Every structure is written in structure tokens, then in C-alpha cells.
Amino acid sequence: MPEPIGFIGLGHMGLPIARNLLAKGFPLRVYNRSPDKAKTLVQEGATLVKSSEEVATPGAIVITMLADDAAVESVATDQLAKALGPGGVHISMSTVSPETNAKLDERFARHGVAVVAAPVFGRPEAAAAGKLWVCTSGPQAPKQRVKPVLDVVGQGVFDFGAKVGSANVVKLAGNFMLTAATEAMAEASALAEKNGIPRESLLKMLTQTLFNCPVYTGYAARVINADFENVGFALPLALKDMLLARQTATSTHAPMPYLDILCDRYISAIAKGRSGLDASALAQGAAEDAGLKWGV
């Protein structure tokens, strides 16, 4: 019998993850700040509760999948840790700083609860298909215990050791590379179009040959079609991740000069009123710098 799970956060990523767990037979207690988002899950068998602490079953598992560090800290409280109690596990799936998860680890340990960091790579459609890539870090026994849960979430689980914040460093590094790839395609496309070559011709050729991998093919399609209003990864969240990466890089004295360019690109996009667009909308900035009208 699958273990009972408490799930907090039913946004673009959390909802499809929770739905997959429910479909695999995991008894689910869910909490979301906006209860309406839980309606479909309740119809499918989940139990909706009125507070974050109520998702916890003593000694069981609670998953958080929230937008940022502040949101995670607002629910991952001593009250939640007490409700879980000895033997409980908190799976922290949100993209947060390694310091935040280290702080949660100390807080939950006082109540006998282990914290496993498990941030994921993939957009909402991958979450719905159970095809995310999961990075984990934390104590070994809890990681082994939650592996059946994470196997439902993703197509592969990669372990980065016992230090609970390590998986978060990997997640921030990966998101930096994703964003850098989009910026590179945007700049290359601006160069091509300034010289009379359609961005579609350039990117289709490159993503069928030298750059034939999911990151380039997926984001190239968005850049080609200016598909920025179909939001899978909101632009402000991308800026949040880049700022977290910069914070981590600064605190560990790891220079990342290209990261500053990406931060500025997102800050500029938000200043121009593009907060409601997908993260790939940074491509508009590269086009504008070249004197081109591009996108929406």
C-alpha cells in the first residue's frame, strides 16, 4: 500500500505532480492558498485541508512545491514539523536557495523529521507526463524511502549526496544553463535577421544538427513562434532563480559573469511590462537591442 502523502502547492508544477501521485494510489491530503485549484483533485479522491499543518500524517511524507523561498518558509514551520513528528520526511521540491533548505533541515530535525531536497527539471507538460528529472540530496535512508514517490514524479532520479542543499545548487546551475541557451539563441537569431536570414531558418537548421537536444529544440520553437504568452515558466520566476544563483555564486566566490547579463535581461523585461510572459520572452530584449521588432 502506498504511503500517505501531504502535498502543499498546486501551481503549474504542483498540480500535475499531485495528480500523478493520486493516480498511482498514494492517499493524498492537499493544501493550497487558493482552494479552488484543488477542486479537480478532490473529485479524483484527494482530501483538501484548511491549513498546511493538516496535510501531515504522523511519521509520513509531506511534499512542498511552491514558487519561492518565502512561500516555502511560510508553510514549512515548526507546526508542520510537529505534526509530522519522528520518522516523518519533508520532500522540498521547490526551487529555493541551498541555504533555505539547510535552515529547514535544522528546524525539522528538532522534531525528528528528515528533509530531502528534490528539485526537478522540466516544464508543466513534463510534470503531467511523469517525465521530470529529479535531483536529490539529504540523508540516505529517507532518500531511499521516498524513491517510490519520486519515481512517479520523474523519469530519472540523480543523487547529489548527504548535504541537503546540494540538489538546490544543481537546480540553480541547470536553470542558469537553460536560460543561457535561450539567450544564445536569441542573440544568434538577432544576428541572422539583421543579415536577412529568418530566425526560423537558422534555428531549425541548428536544432536539427549541432544543437539537437530537448533544451534547444523546445526553446527554439518558442523563440521562432514568439510563443511567450503560453506560460510554463513565468518570467519573474526565472529572474528569481538567476538571483538565487548569483547569491549562491557570490557567497562561495564563484565568478559567473554571464549570469549578470541574464539577470539584467530579465530585469529589463519586467521593467517593460512583460511579467506575465514566459521566461523565453527574454528573446525580445536581444531583438530590441538589434533594432528589430520581435515577438508580442
Contact 183, 261 (CB under 8 A): yes
For residues 69 and 46, what is the distance between their CA atoms, to the nearest angstrom?
26
Catalytic, out of 171, 194, 272, 293? 171
Buried b (16+ CB within 10 A) or exposed e, 113-149: bbbbbbbbbbbbebbbebebbbbbbbbeebbebbeeb
Does 171 participate in catalysis according to the annotation? yes
Q: What are the catalytic residues?
A: 171
